[in-house]
Structures are given as structure tokens and as C-alpha cells.
Amino acid sequence: MYIASPILWMIPPMVYKAINPDLTGLATETAYIMVCKQVLPAGLLGLMLTGMYFSTSASANTALNVVSAVFTNDIYKGTLNPQASEKKLMFIARASSWFFGFL
């Protein structure tokens, strides 16, 4: 999969760059969406965009959970309040997740 997957994901933007050589700067970041827009019907394009959005959202959610867990277990429980109850730790974890999400 480490050999086939990059080829599968990188060929469409490279083909679009060959089709539209005027892409420069940040416009190259949208090459995958542009090729999907030209090739896919409207329904499949919507599914592709939705999948990309939720994939990014899941990645951000995972990062927030990791940061919140590190803060709660290592900083709060390890340094600030070692005798904290499970209920208090759960509150701190949720609050820090919201805090880091807004930050």
C-alpha cells in the first residue's frame, strides 16, 4: 500500500498540472479538486468534497484529543493536582479540549 497509494493520489494532480500549466503558487494546492471537478459528476464531486472535509475534521479531532490528554495526564495530574479525582480529570480533559479547540 505504501507504493500504490501515493501513485493513486498523486497522478490526478500531476495530470491536471500537465493539462493546465498556468498553475502557480497556491493555485497548485487546488489541483486535485480541479481535476475532480472536470472528471466527476456533481453527486460524486459532492461525496469527494464531503469525504475530504470529514477526513480533515477527524484528523483535527484526533490532534485535539492528544493535546488534551497530554495536558490532563501529564501537566494537570502530574504537576498541578496529583490527587485529582476521576470526575475532576474528566472535567479538565473536556475543558482543555474546548480551550485548545478555540485556541
Quick: pLDDT tens for 39-62.
Answer: 899 899 999 989 989 999 999 999
Of 90, 89, 101, 95, the C-alpha closest to 62 is 101
Global confidence as pTM: 0.65
Using CA atoms, how far apart are residues 23 and 35, in angstroms rounded to an integer? 12
- In this predicted structure, the answer to whether residue 66 has a pLDDT above a threshold of 90 is yes
- H helices within the chain, ranges in order? 4-19, 31-39, 42-70, 86-102
Burial level of 10, CB count in 10 A (0-12/13-18/19+)?
exposed
pLDDT band at 95 (very low <50, low <70, confident <90, very high): very high
Using CA atoms, how far apart are residues 85 and 89, in angstroms rounded to an integer? 6
